[in-house]
Structure 1
């Protein structure tokens, strides 16, 4: 029978026939042209030609279908998704380094030149991007501050406060080093899933003066994983202590100055912003504005997974597959979202070769248990694969 005309662009979207349907149509055409006594088996001349034509037509139709779906946020992938985002004015986040302010204490006045490198205990390296000259403080010590940039890109460089404590080339004149606040701005390359979710959110709330419009604008900043604007539209303080008719913005990650500038650029007139972070920036007219907000608290999660496996278990990749699946799920939870332990079990059992699994989680490695991790409006969970332990058959 001829190929149904219901394929292609229809009221239900783009419908593509299967290879078998295309082959049936080509064979029917051959029979109508050459008679019903021709041989169409896979090793006959007519059969081989029919299959070549059917295969090429199938590939062409599949390409047309992909081109159609490449125009939509929900179905576009790779560069097609980038082009959809470009049409909306929202680019994909690319990998970026992290920045931090370090405080250096020296033995007397001392100059630390640009290019000097500093490290954390676990090997994250930062380069000084502007000279530091220490000056004498009221207590008699000699201190100076400077900005450092991570040598590598990625969110893993957003180290916590007081982690950058070593000089790569030790100097006897340098007595101590620390970063009083966490490093920020480090950004991983945004994968399709994360970028797509942000585009859908952007489509629902354009950057603008509303609280959720400001969230949309802040989410475009490098290193910002999530934003939670808490609005109090009542005449009394809310249960979190926010004053009447105020907005308290919690930002997970990102650079303070970039956050402040973005808020100023999208803040509605008369809005009252609250928060312990106070940053002075200039608005578009050149006037100084004081911005208030807070960083959300990042709660690192530790996980221990015990599994009994069968012959289908992959000794080389199974444990890594569990770690990746669990970490990805936790890292995609938004601010204030509870980490339910039961949600992790389907991820673990989704790895091939597992007969039985037991999972324990916690915010400290030494106190893991079977309780959910409940987060407040200013808290979010995260998980590094290095924080996940997988024991196979008790080993």
Structure 2
């Protein structure tokens, strides 16, 4: 094509031929970029958005959508009393929960009158997994009701799954299909709504392990999720004859309809605090730089898997990735007044979490 162009033709940016050449080149570039996106959309590692959803659909594994949380509440009344479905209760923070089925309070051994029922949050997202004893406010006060509370934290609430998280789950699904192996059980549990991480501690020896798990036992830890969903899933995939341990104990039915006792535990969340002291260059963004560091450090910590230690040296990468950081000093810890430059170790059932507000940024000279 180039050989067909007259070498004396003027191709400057303000000439007619130059302008036309640039228009053709721009359209050619856009066409090639679109073809490249189409090509990459066929692979898990490079697909994004709807293309990644299509791949997941082919594998029978859909993206997790945002879901509300569920909680079991205990209602104490003056005497026998019927609370109808649709009544609403809320937390001090304003999360509203709706009663799903009628609750009839009955007399207990201590002489009080109480009943339990399930409530669903009116909002969606991970933040709706409110802690225990936080659903205590009656949206419509009733003189017959003495108190309302949720003995255990709410579960099942989740955010819309991001491309990165969904992509990793698809990779794991290919590597270990749901089944009775440890990897298969983890894969099956990770597909449940609200479950963000799973760790399985196996004790194959004839004596108790360092955590006190009995011989030849399996101890499963889940971060997030609804305990009934988890128990039902384990009943489908746990191998016969396995001794399961954990404080969460539920009776479910196996595939044959026989009762099966399921034990597991929820993971322990360990809050991490950090202080970052920096010197800056002229490229430092005074308005946004400190917040960028907070989110960069928090994102790294929140991406750690259950049981992974937090190495302080690895936090310098996310900090230096922020433009304008010339020098940095970092201290971390599990309390804001106990920060050191030492690593934070974690047990197999612990997971590090960090809110950006837990990261203090000090800019020298400001």
Question: Fold match, TM over 0.5?
Answer: yes
Once the two structures are superposed, the pairs formed by residues 1-395 of structure 1 within 5 Å of their partners are 29-30=1-2, 32-307=3-278, 309=280, 312-392=283-363
Bigger mean CA offset, 128-137 vs 260-269: 128-137
TM-score normalized by structure 1? 0.84
Instruction: Specify whether residues 299 and 178 from structure 1 end up closer, same or farther in structure 2 by C-alpha distance, changes over 3 A only.
Output: farther
SS at structure 1 position matched to 2:24? helix
Work out whether residues 211 and 247 of structure 1, in 8 Å CA contact, stay in contact via their aligned partners in 2.
no
Deviations 1:345-376 (A, max 9, x none): 32233223344544443333444443332111
**Partners in 2 of 1:354 and 1:61 — Cα distance?**
37
**Partners in 2 of 1:79 and 1:66 — Cα distance?**
12
SS at structure 1 position matched to 2:196? strand
SS at structure 2 position matched to 1:294? strand
Bigger mean CA offset, 129-138 vs 58-67: 129-138
Runs of 5+ consecutive residues of structure 2 not aligned to the other structure: none
Work out whether residues 281 and 291 of structure 1, in 8 Å CA contact, stay in contact via their aligned partners in 2.
yes
**Partners in 1 of 2:83 and 2:308 — Cα distance?**
43
SS at structure 1 position matched to 2:69? strand
**Partners in 2 of 1:125 and 1:317 — Cα distance?**
34
Runs of 5+ consecutive residues of structure 1 not aligned to the other structure: 1-28
Offset at 1:315? Answer: 4.4
Instruction: Specify whether residues 122 and 351 from structure 1 end up closer, same or farther in structure 2 by C-alpha distance, changes over 3 A only.
Output: farther
TM-score normalized by structure 2? 0.90
Instruction: Specify whether residues 98 and 244 from structure 1 end up closer, same or farther in structure 2 by C-alpha distance, changes over 3 A only.
Output: same
Deviations 1:316-350 (A, max 9, x none): 43333233222222222111111223322322332
**Partners in 1 of 2:75 and 2:37 — Cα distance?**
56
Bigger Rg over Cα: 1
Offset at 1:391? Answer: 4.6
Offset at 1:228? Answer: 0.7
**Partners in 2 of 1:324 and 1:103 — Cα distance?**
38
**Partners in 2 of 1:309 and 1:122 — Cα distance?**
38
Instruction: Specify whether residues 340 and 264 from structure 1 end up closer, same or farther in structure 2 by C-alpha distance, changes over 3 A only.
Output: same
Offset at 1:75? Answer: 0.8
Q: CA RMSD in A?
A: 2.4
Instruction: Specify whether residues 240 and 366 from structure 1 end up closer, same or farther in structure 2 by C-alpha distance, changes over 3 A only.
Output: same
**Partners in 2 of 1:106 and 1:331 — Cα distance?**
42
Bigger mean CA offset, 80-89 vs 318-327: 318-327
Instruction: Specify whether residues 107 and 349 from structure 1 end up closer, same or farther in structure 2 by C-alpha distance, changes over 3 A only.
Output: farther
**Partners in 2 of 1:166 and 1:307 — Cα distance?**
44
Deviations 1:266-299 (A, max 9, x none): 2223333222222111222222222121111122
Bigger mean CA offset, 127-136 vs 89-98: 127-136
**Partners in 2 of 1:281 and 1:75 — Cα distance?**
40
Offset at 1:61? Answer: 1.5
Offset at 1:389? Answer: 4.0
